[in-house]
Structure 1
Amino acid sequence: MALLSPYSKVPELNTATVLLVENEEELQNKLANAIVQHEKDFNVNVRLAKKLPLPVENKEARPRIDLIVFIVSLLSERSLQSAESSLSHLHSDCFLGKVCFLVTDARCGSHTQERLVSVRKLAASHHCPVICAEHRTADGVSAAALRLLNILQVSAGMTPMSTTALYLSTLTRCSLTSDLQEDYLQ
């Protein structure tokens, strides 16, 4: 089983590819459609997966993946577990501005707060950003798509040279507050 590496293929001209990984596919299709429909200056390929690793049978035809988005529903423990298990199938180079977490249902009860803390710890340990999204409204999905497109543009190298994926990652990565830091170190 080979690890998914961001630099194993040559990039296509004026094209970026985002991989949306979600176990339950609740937001995945809506988000993919919103990303494709947004007006942008470059071509976007959207790939969908339930979990990693990706199948090996179409590895040669698969384009270079510029951004991997783990969609985690805080209402589902399985969603979080799927994201955690999928991380082990990524090459360490992916964590240099090529991975982010998108969480949904952050306002829905006490169990979600515990899972949000778990996602934040996971993201902080891999130096990845966490984006909260509202998936129940079209405006919420559109806002999440626009935010992901901005991150994708940077991670694919389609911005001025002063902004790199690693620099963006340091600006947007999830950091732990002091109370979470104490729990994380234990």
Structure 2
Amino acid sequence: MFLLQMSGVPGSGKSTVAAHVVETFGAVALDYDVIKTAVLDSGADLDASAKAAYEVMYALARQVLGQGHPVIMDSPCGWPRIVNEGREIAKAHGAGYRYIECQVRDLKLLDQRLAQRPRLRTHRRGVDQPPVDLGDEPMDGAALFRVWMDRVERPSDNYLQLDMHRPLSEVLPEVDLYLKASGN
């Protein structure tokens, strides 16, 4: 059993990798954007929704691990608390903690991916297009994405970084090897 923390900027492929892990390992994916969208839809303000969404994700991770299922926490993972909380939840349930970072540094590719994906209200519409709750004014998304790329939190060891410029046919076997080698 494991708790897998997905990490990376919007559009980097976290949810795609998570879907593969669900199919291959029978894990349950907890998607931060789905949770945050539901919190916003309930009437919470934008600032409160981010904190509430993480708290809901942690509570669900505890419950699902407690039921004996591996868990994927699918979020950008930009703060130390996210890694620390994931490690604590895994430890409390006797599960291995795993971490996969999806990396894409090509902003044009990210912009294409963001424009093509099915969209929740918390999703960016493009590198320079914020989520709908932040308005319709274009912004300098390139600077923001570069900060996000440099701000990713990761554990000090036993993590996998994936170059998501490569085809999934090359990337997904690395995911399988990492999770299997980690005792899963």
TM-score bracket for the superposition, by shorter chain length:
0.3 to 0.5
Q: TM-score, normalised by structure 2?
A: 0.44
TM-score normalised by length of structure 1: 0.44
Pick 1 or 2: higher relative contact order, CA cutoff 8 A, min separation 6.
2
